[in-house]
Each structure stands twice: as C-alpha cells, then as structure tokens.
C-alpha cells in the first residue's frame, strides 16, 4: 500500500511572539510549511526587525530560535547544519560551529551564552 504524501500546502508555520497586540493571539504567520526542508532552516523577518531561524527535523517537528549568532554577530544560524546531541536537537552555527539547543536556545559549547527560543506551531 502506498500512502499519499501529506499535503502541506495549506499548513502555515507560526511563531509566538511576546507581544499579542497586533498579531493573532501573539502568533505570527511566517510561511507555508512546504518551504521547510527537513534538516534545514529558513530565516524569517519579524515585525520588530528581529530575525528568527526556523527548522524542521526529520520527524516533522518545528523549532525556532533567534537567527543571530551571538558570537560573530551575523544573522546566519538558519544556515547551519542541524543534528542531535544527547537526544536533543541542535544547530551548529556556520560561522565558528558553536552548537545551540533548538528547544532552549542554550549554547552547548559555552554555558554562559544563549539565544531566544520561540514557540512554533503549524496552523491551517
């Protein structure tokens, strides 16, 4: 039996931003889910000018953290490689390879450093 691939064109990726005023319950719609390649990230421009890096893992789970690499300053975390370290998902910065936990935003290679992590969901 062949399973029809899930149609995702109508599913949207949404981020929860702190501020609920000008968005729908604080959820900000970023893009179609189909634009996220498993194992890769994309960058999104947020209403206040910040940037988020959004990732999708092999199991289809979504993660979002701040896009700026706090070590080098460039907004490039969305372009890093993802992986699993001790059961937790991470992205390695493409600049100097420090790893960031995708759920908490904490840097795995320097406990004093962390980036913002965002709640993320799909919505029809």
Partner 1 sequence: MTATDGATPTIVLVGHGMVGQRFLEALAARGLTAAHRVVVLCEEPRPAYDRVALTSYFSGKTPEDLSMTDMAFIEKEGIELHIGDPAETIDREARRVTARSGLVVDYDVLVLATGSYPFVPPVPNKDAEGCFVYRTIEDLLAIEEYASTRTTGAVVGGGLLGLEAAGALKGLGLTSHIVEFAPRLMPVQVDDGGGAALLRTIEDMGLAVHTGVGTQEIVVGEDGAVTGMKLSDGSELATDLVVFSAGVRPRDQLARDCGLSVGERGGIAVDEQCRTVSDPHVFAIGECALASDGRVYGLVAPGYEQAETAAAAIAADEAEQLTFTGADLSTKLKLLGVDVASFGDAHGVTEDSLDVVYSDSRSGLYKKLVIGRDGTLLGGILVGDAEAYGTLKAFTGSVPPVSPESLVLPAGAGESVQLGPTSLPDDAIICSCNNVRKGTIRGAVTEHNCTTVPEVKKCTKAGTTCGSCVKVLGQLVTAELEASGVEVDKGLCGCFSQTREELYEIVLALRLNTYQDLLDRYGRDHAKGGDGCDICKPAVASIIASLAPVIGASVHVLDGEQAALQETNDHFLANLQKNGSYSVVPRIPGGEITPEGLIVIGEIARDFGLYTKITGGQRIDMFGARVEQLPLIWTRLVDAGFESGHAYGKSLRTVKSCVGQTWCRYGVQDSVRMAIDLELRYRGLRSPHKLKSAVSGCARECAEAQSKDFGIIATSGGWNLYVGGNGGATPRHADLLAQDLNDAELIRLIDRFLMFYIRTADRLERTSTWLERIPGGLDHVRDVVVEDSLGICEELESLMTAHVAHYRDEWADTINDPEKLARFVSFVNAPDTPDPVVGFVPERDQIKPDLPLLSIGLRPAADVLEGSAQR
121 touches partner 1 (CB under 8 A): no
Q: How far is the CB of 29 from partner 1 (least distance, A)?
A: 8
39 touches partner 1 (CB under 8 A): yes
Q: How far is the CB of 122 from partner 1 (least distance, A)?
A: 14
Distance, CA of 66 to CA of 88 (rounded, Å): 18
Q: Is-contact 90 108, C-beta < 8 A?
A: yes
Tokens read off for 9: 């064109």
> Of 3-11, 19-27, 79-87, 116-124, which segment contacts partner 1 by CB under 8 A?
79-87
Q: Compare residues 21 and 111 and give the one whose CB is closer to partner 1.
A: 111
Distance, CA of 96 to CA of 17 (rounded, Å): 28
CA distances from 100 to 24, 82, 109, 111, 119 (A): 29, 9, 8, 10, 16
Contact residues toward partner 1 (CB under 8 A) are 30-31, 35, 37-40, 42-45, 49, 51, 54, 57-58, 68, 70-76, 79-85, 87, 89, 92, 94-99, 109-110, 113
């Amino acid at each position: 039996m062949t399973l029809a691939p899930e149609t995702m064109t109508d599913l949207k990726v949404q981020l929860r931003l702190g501020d609920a005023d000008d968005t729908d319950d604080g959820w900000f719609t970023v893009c179609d889910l189909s634009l996220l390649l498993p194992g890769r990230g994309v960058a999104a421009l947020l209403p206040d000018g910040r940037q988020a890096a959004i990732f999708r893992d092999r199991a289809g789970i979504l993660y979002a953290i701040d896009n700026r690499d706090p070590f080098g300053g460039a907004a490039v975390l969305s372009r890093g490689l993802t992986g699993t370290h001790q059961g937790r998902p991470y992205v390695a910065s493409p600049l100097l390879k420090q790893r960031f936990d995708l759920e908490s935003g904490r840097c795995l290679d320097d406990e004093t450093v962390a980036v913002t992590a965002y709640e993320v969901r799909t919505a029809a």
